[in-house]
Amino acid sequence: MQKTTKLKDSLIFIILVLLAITFLAPILIVLMNSFKGKFYISDTPFVFPNSTTFSGMENYIGGIAKIDFWSAFGMSLFITVCSVAVIVLFTAMTAWYITRVKGKFTSALYYVFVFSMIVPFQMVMFTMSKVANMIHLDNPFGIILIYLGFGSGLSVFLFSGFVKSIPIEIEEAVLIDGCNPVQAFFKVVFPILKPTAITVAILNVMWIWNDYLLPNLIIGTEYKTIPIAIQYLKGGYGSIDMGAMMAMLVLAIVPIIIFYLSCQKYIIEGVVAGAVKG
């Protein structure tokens, strides 16, 4: 029995190691190719740089200059931070209202949010982009509201599950002490929601930072985010500066990897709390 358990554990460990290698390999390939000359990447994409193929920081310096990387970085940072802040705040309030105020309206509203999670973006993207243009949301501030709409489904679902686990007696005690409902939410409920709030923030940061399609449809090339700016490394007749592109991809994924690694411990805790409790 003990041998069977050890064999099973070893097998699971091997499978997990193989999965880790599978997921990390693309990042490693991009990283090592970012230090190669652009003419060598296509010929030897899976070989580490050597004295012949190594190009130093040339790809990074050239790529930053070609696409005005820091301007695109600032735009991505602004849209991501503002969108995530709005999503966390408003969906937490919505979930609290839906959970605490029982009725047909709130029940229907909850299922509308849940249903929005399964609607493919491709079904609404052309209509959405047309409406956004008509009501002048085709700018960095307007796209924040659009991200709020698309990110609210999963966020409300997670927050609602966690709010159900909070004893209502805590809120009633605060109300008796003289707080109004808004004060009760921000002073008592919202701090308790921290694990789920961090999880919602992480999931939306990873989505919005890497998103290409929605910014391309809404704000186009006038306000370039990093995914859009990287496309400008494509030249005429299908030519691509692969060295600069690899370097810019590395610079694009480093911030999100650092953010994810620093907050990953909250993901499982928040998802389990939001989906199981209550």
Q: What is the pLDDT of residues 137-176, one digit of tens each?
A: 888 899 999 999 888 988 998 898 888 888 888 888 888 8
Query: Can you tell me the distance from the alpha carbon of 125 to that of 215, in angstroms, rounded to the nearest whole number?
Result: 11
pLDDT band at residue 81 using 50, 70 and 90 as cut-offs: very high
User: Which structural domains are found in the chain, ordered by start?
Assistant: 57-276 (1.10.3720.10)
* CA dihedral over 142, 211, 244, 77, signed as positive or negative: positive
Quick one: which of 147, 179, 152, 164 has its CA closest to 94?
152
> Is residue 246 a contact partner of residue 233, using CB atoms and an 8 Å limit?
no
Phi-psi region at 237: left, alpha or beta (left = phi > 0; alpha = psi -120 to 50)? left
Query: Can you tell me the distance from the alpha carbon of 149 to that of 107, in angstroms, rounded to the nearest whole number?
Result: 19
Query: Can you tell me the distance from the alpha carbon of 144 to that of 163, in angstroms, rounded to the nearest whole number?
Result: 25
So what's the pLDDT on residue 271?
55
- With a cut of 50, say whether residue 277 has pLDDT above it: no
Query: Can you tell me the distance from the alpha carbon of 86 to that of 91, in angstroms, rounded to the nearest whole number?
Result: 8
Query: Can you tell me the distance from the alpha carbon of 139 to that of 225, in angstroms, rounded to the nearest whole number?
Result: 12
Q: pTM for the full model?
A: 0.84
Reading the block at residue 68, the tokens are: 């005005």
Reading the block at residue 46, the tokens are: 């899976």
> Is residue 37 a contact partner of residue 241, using CB atoms and an 8 Å limit?
no
Contacts for 269 with CB less than 8 Å, ≥ 6 apart: 195, 199
Burial of 247: CB neighbours in 10 Å, binned 0-12, 13-18, 19+: buried
pLDDT band at residue 270 using 50, 70 and 90 as cut-offs: low
Reading the block at residue 195, the tokens are: 């694990």
